[in-house]
A and B are shown apart, each in its own frame.
Chain A
Amino acid sequence: MSKRINKSKVTELDFSSVWSYAASPESTDHIKIAPRYEHFINGEFVKPTSGKYFKTINPTSEAVLSELAQGNEKDVDKAVKAARKAYTEVWSKMSGAERGKYLYRIARMIQERSREFAVIESMDGGKPIRESRDIDIPLVAAHFFYYAGWADKLEFAFPGKSVAPIGVCGQIIPWNFPLLMAAWKLAPALACGNTVVLKPAETTSLTAMKLAEVIRDCGLPPGVVNIVTGDGVAGAAIVNHPDVDKIAFTGSTDVGKIIQRATAGTDKKLTLELGGKAAHIIFDDAPLDQAVEGIINGIFFNQGHVCCAGSRLFIQESVHDKVIRKLKDRMNTLVVGDPLDKNTDVGAINSAEQLGKINHYLKLGVKEGAEIWQSSCAIPRKGYFCKPTLFLKASQSHRIVQEEIFGPVLAVQSFRTIEEVIEKANNTPFGLSAGVWTDKGSRIFNLTTKLRAGVVWANTYNKFDPTSPFGGYKESGFGREGGLHGLSAYLKI
């Protein structure tokens, strides 16, 4: 049987010429961003005691969007007092059904203003509008809806056990999913009858302040939710405040360790959702084209600013070259640029600081001897951007394999046997998530029981749902958010 094989004729596919997509930017005409935002304490917008403000910028244009109140111990103290008063006098006494009504109302108001929230999220944080519009904001509403449903059913949540709210919760959230992380924290806390002092991340506080408007407009009793903006000073003030009963933190492992030390020996309950360095494993019988899409979603979703990002790729050696070829082709089709353009796949890096950190790792990877490959896509000259990057032939002892980069950078290793890949996948101080691609059901069950990670996705990646618990092993933290498990973090059981 004659086959016309002429490998010399095979040229790389060209994804850029002939036809390109015209710019298709989401409109910002309807967006109102005030020149200045105050703290939201006791149902009112109040000036910071320091009188100081800090600027928040658009990472795409580097232009100042607004300025925010610089919080300190005094502001936090005011917020905690308001939260305590609201807890004792109103919120903990209210029936679950009534609390649920407020949460449903917040969910609906977010849906009504979803376009506005999505656009501001993309302007302030740099994430593509495709994600803020289709993933972040719908999930925000979904979390409020989900926990609203639990508010009047708490006594049935843990059969045979009685439950009670914890009290005043201090919640400190990261910059990668600003409004979604606020929802993950607020919705279960409020459903369970707690009051909250929330501190959004310094670079991405705008949607939290817009959420404050929703909270005020929905008539939530004053003091039930208080939002204090600022940097680590405000965060530390919340962690160290003696009248805070629980701390929930999502962010870096380094800060998580500081918080754990600070709360040690106190009565404060603590949940931490920290860093990750997830193994994403591709077996030779996997649906390879769909697996490649999973790899893309795993590492380039939100510019790789995802604690559960699939940042360590393990490919079975027999399909390694094929998968890399497919992956490179797919990466060449990624559109990197203006986050507000509807065709943008990868937006702006959140801050100059983070871009610096990523660039440091790019240099380090090259120095360590991994083979760097970057997408042929164009990136804008202005603003903070990074080309989607692969490090091929990486090894387990490279720091780019061991440390969380939190950017669009994927370290690729090959493996030969199941035992080997399980050992390598678990050989990390982190344990937040993992992904497995195989056509064999039994292999999926084998791996899900052996991978030490809080979330293991099979034949998909980065799927989130309010009903599903999320959280880590080891240095990725403890406690679970989402689902029934998420309730237990906000209840005395």
Chain B
Amino acid sequence: MSIRNFIPTVTIDQTGVEERVARLNSRSIKKESKVFALKMALNMIDLTTLEGKDTPGKVKQMCYKAMHPHDALPGIPTVAAVCVYPTFVALAKKELGNSGVKVASVATAFPAGQSSRDIKLRDTKIAVDAGADEIDMVISRGKFLAGEYAFVYDEIAAIKEACKSSRLKVILETGELSTLDNVRLASEIAMQAGADFIKTSTGKIQPAATAPVTLVMLEAIRDYYYETGRMVGMKPAGGISTAKAALQNLVMVKETLGAAWLSNQWFRFGASSLANDVLMQLAKEAESRYQSGDYFSKD
């Protein structure tokens, strides 16, 4: 029996959300404003590899890229973090040293989350003990859709405890939640259960981080902040591969949550191919011409 009756605090009108997104997307970002935002976007990326074929070699290469995205151009920041499976956390930690780039690890039977509470807690503990700065967990979407909100809440709260001082990102996998009302409710449950970040997707399910979903989650974060005084971060992940889409996301953050969220402390992009498009745009702004993709490392 659930001790807590989770009901959404506000309804969501999908058409209205889409119109708001369209209006935000029409912001024109030019010149110095664009360069500033591109660097900010690069610095917010969680460079990610989450594949069955990942090897230490692959992770090492990605870690170097994370610290040195494009040395040919001066003034380029590092990315925010690398995101790997728990087995690669120790290696990534060693490779990144004191560069400031964080190590994030997925846990809790990523990506489906179809496992027991014990396994999920063990999974989390392994990653935390290996030195993960951040844990990206998945919620139990099946339980959520079955209306067992208290189960979802309790699970997040338990994982949060297992995270100790590591920051917890809670993946809602919005592509499986079907409606924006569900996205809103799942966001609220995750935040109330202690999430430090809420995150759209695993990247394994389509659609992933669509702009309407991200906007609804940002609005949930804003309302939660006003309610409790606690800032929660946001991480859209999957499907954001162009600099233009990244800038549109930053516009959404700026106009929904404001300046306080415009740093990698509170906003992240989960992406692998985004970094190079951002770099390409930065090089274009610096040199006034586009280079081919072969001028940017593909790690």
Residues of B within 8 A of A88 (CB): none
Residues of B within 8 A of A18 (CB): 254, 259, 262
Total A residues in contact with B, Cβ cutoff 8 Å: 40
The reply to whether B29 and A21 form a contact with Cβ atoms under 8 Å apart is yes
Complex formed: what's the CA distance from A321 to B104 in Å?
39
Complex formed: what's the CA distance from A434 to B27 in Å?
29
* Chain B proximity of A320: nearest CB distance (Å): 14
Among A1-23, those with CB < 8 Å from B are: 1, 3-10, 13-23
Among A305-337, those with CB < 8 Å from B are: 325, 329, 333
The reply to whether B27 and A21 form a contact with Cβ atoms under 8 Å apart is yes
Complex formed: what's the CA distance from A10 to B229 in Å?
5
Complex formed: what's the CA distance from A24 to B11 in Å?
35
A286 contacts chain B at the CB level, 8 A cutoff = yes
Complex formed: what's the CA distance from A112 to B43 in Å?
43
The one of A13, A134, A333, A459 that contacts B13, using a Cβ cutoff of 8 Å: A459
Segment at the B interface, from A184-192, A272-280, A288-296, A367-375: A288-296
Complex formed: what's the CA distance from A286 to B10 in Å?
7
The one of B4, B11, B27, B32 that contacts A343, using a Cβ cutoff of 8 Å: B27
Complex formed: what's the CA distance from A365 to B1 in Å?
54
Among B6-58, those with CB < 8 Å from A are: 10-13, 15-17, 19-20, 23, 26-34, 36-37, 40
A127 contacts chain B at the CB level, 8 A cutoff = no
Residues of A within 8 A of B34 (CB): 22
B122 contacts chain A at the CB level, 8 A cutoff = no
The one of A3, A14, A20, A287 that contacts B10, using a Cβ cutoff of 8 Å: A287
**Beta-carbon nearest neighbor of A335 in chain B:** B27
The reply to whether A13 and B258 form a contact with Cβ atoms under 8 Å apart is yes
A342 contacts chain B at the CB level, 8 A cutoff = yes
Total B residues in contact with A, Cβ cutoff 8 Å: 40
Residues of B within 8 A of A3 (CB): 192, 228
A460 contacts chain B at the CB level, 8 A cutoff = yes
The reply to whether A130 and B32 form a contact with Cβ atoms under 8 Å apart is no
The reply to whether B250 and A19 form a contact with Cβ atoms under 8 Å apart is yes
The reply to whether A460 and B229 form a contact with Cβ atoms under 8 Å apart is no
**Beta-carbon nearest neighbor of A288 in chain B:** B10
Complex formed: what's the CA distance from A10 to B230 in Å?
8
A439 contacts chain B at the CB level, 8 A cutoff = yes
* Chain A proximity of B12: nearest CB distance (Å): 5
The reply to whether B255 and A15 form a contact with Cβ atoms under 8 Å apart is yes
Among B4, B254, B258, which residue has the most Cβ atoms of chain A within 10 A? B258
B283 contacts chain A at the CB level, 8 A cutoff = no
The reply to whether B16 and A4 form a contact with Cβ atoms under 8 Å apart is no
Task: Decide if the interface of chain B is mainly helix, strand, loop or mixed.
Answer: helix
The reply to whether B11 and A439 form a contact with Cβ atoms under 8 Å apart is yes
The reply to whether A15 and B228 form a contact with Cβ atoms under 8 Å apart is no
The reply to whether B20 and A293 form a contact with Cβ atoms under 8 Å apart is yes
The one of A19, A23, A293 that contacts B262, using a Cβ cutoff of 8 Å: A19
A98 contacts chain B at the CB level, 8 A cutoff = no
* Chain B proximity of A404: nearest CB distance (Å): 26
The one of B23, B226, B258 that contacts A14, using a Cβ cutoff of 8 Å: B258
Complex formed: what's the CA distance from A291 to B30 in Å?
30
The reply to whether A7 and B229 form a contact with Cβ atoms under 8 Å apart is yes
A285 contacts chain B at the CB level, 8 A cutoff = yes
Residues of A within 8 A of B91 (CB): none
Complex formed: what's the CA distance from A24 to B30 in Å?
7
Residues of B within 8 A of A4 (CB): 228-230
* B238-263 interface code vs A (CB 8 A; 1 in, 0 out): 00000000000010001101111010
The reply to whether B30 and A13 form a contact with Cβ atoms under 8 Å apart is no
Complex formed: what's the CA distance from A333 to B258 in Å?
9
Complex formed: what's the CA distance from A261 to B173 in Å?
65
The reply to whether B228 and A22 form a contact with Cβ atoms under 8 Å apart is no
B64 contacts chain A at the CB level, 8 A cutoff = no
* B204-222 interface code vs A (CB 8 A; 1 in, 0 out): 0000000000000001001
The reply to whether B16 and A293 form a contact with Cβ atoms under 8 Å apart is yes
Residues of B within 8 A of A294 (CB): 16
Question: With A19-B40, A21-B33, A343-B28 in contact, do A325 and B11 touch (Cβ < 8 Å)?
Answer: no
**Beta-carbon nearest neighbor of A459 in chain B:** B13
**Beta-carbon nearest neighbor of A1 in chain B:** B4
Complex formed: what's the CA distance from A183 to B161 in Å?
65
Complex formed: what's the CA distance from A293 to B64 in Å?
44
Residues of A within 8 A of B290 (CB): none
Question: With A22-B32, A459-B16 in contact, do A17 and B259 touch (Cβ < 8 Å)?
Answer: yes
The reply to whether A286 and B259 form a contact with Cβ atoms under 8 Å apart is no
Question: With A7-B229, A19-B40 in contact, do A333 and B27 touch (Cβ < 8 Å)?
Answer: no
The reply to whether A6 and B262 form a contact with Cβ atoms under 8 Å apart is no
The reply to whether B16 and A290 form a contact with Cβ atoms under 8 Å apart is yes
Complex formed: what's the CA distance from A391 to B197 in Å?
37
Residues of B within 8 A of A288 (CB): 10-11
* Chain A proximity of B9: nearest CB distance (Å): 9
Complex formed: what's the CA distance from A13 to B20 in Å?
19
Question: With A17-B259, A22-B30 in contact, do A10 and B20 touch (Cβ < 8 Å)?
Answer: no
Question: With A21-B28, A288-B10, A342-B28 in contact, do A460 and B40 touch (Cβ < 8 Å)?
Answer: no
Question: With A10-B226, A19-B40, A21-B33 in contact, do A290 and B28 touch (Cβ < 8 Å)?
Answer: no
Residues of B within 8 A of A293 (CB): 16, 19-20, 23
* Chain B proximity of A220: nearest CB distance (Å): 35
* Chain B proximity of A5: nearest CB distance (Å): 5
Question: With A17-B259, A289-B10 in contact, do A24 and B28 touch (Cβ < 8 Å)?
Answer: yes
* Chain B proximity of A97: nearest CB distance (Å): 37
Complex formed: what's the CA distance from A5 to B191 in Å?
13
The one of A23, A134, A290, A329 that contacts B12, using a Cβ cutoff of 8 Å: A290
* A107-122 interface code vs B (CB 8 A; 1 in, 0 out): 0000000000000000
* Chain A proximity of B34: nearest CB distance (Å): 7
Among B11, B40, B192, B262, which residue has the most Cβ atoms of chain A within 10 A? B11
Residues of B within 8 A of A24 (CB): 28-30
Can you list 9 A-B pairs with a CB-CB distance of less than 8 A? A3-B228, A10-B225, A10-B226, A13-B260, A19-B250, A22-B31, A290-B17, A291-B16, A342-B26
Q: Given contact pairs A1-B4, A10-B229, A290-B16, enumerate 10 new A-B contacts (beta carbons under 8 Å).
A: A6-B228, A10-B226, A18-B262, A21-B28, A22-B34, A24-B30, A285-B11, A287-B13, A325-B226, A329-B222
| Nearest 3 CB-CB pairings of A with B | A290-B16, A9-B229, A22-B33
